[in-house]
């Protein structure tokens, strides 16, 4: 995963995406990748405006590192306002 992050920092989207996909395909079972991986993948997709895939990655990694605010933010970007409000209602 470090290589994917390095390529991302270098703005080499093609190689970063290749390594993120490599890790996804090598996962033996759902849930075998840690939450941090899914958070980084979600961040990668979100930065590129691919909100649907970002939401899927964040939801897969929902746990210790992926916080619900990232999921709410992604729902808002997708104009899923009802879902965003359900997760984070006004106080």
CA angle 70, 57, 82 (to 5 degrees): 50
**Nearest C-alpha neighbor of 17 from the set 51, 33, 40:** 40
* pTM, full prediction: 0.72
Whether pLDDT at 2 is above 80: no
- pLDDT tens sequence across 12-50: 888 888 888 787 777 656 556 677 788 888 998 998 999
- pLDDT tens sequence across 40-78: 889 989 989 999 999 998 888 877 656 788 999 999 999
């Amino acid at each position: 995963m470090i290589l994917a992050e390095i390529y991302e920092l270098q703005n080499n989207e093609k190689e970063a995406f290749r390594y993120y996909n490599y890790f996804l395909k090598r996962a033996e079972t759902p849930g075998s990748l840690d939450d941090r991986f899914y958070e980084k993948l979600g961040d990668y997709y979100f930065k590129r405006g691919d909100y649907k895939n970002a939401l899927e990655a964040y939801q897969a990694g929902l746990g210790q590192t992926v916080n619900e605010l990232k999921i709410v933010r992604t729902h808002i970007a997708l104009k899923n306002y009802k879902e965003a409000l359900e997760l984070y209602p006004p106080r």
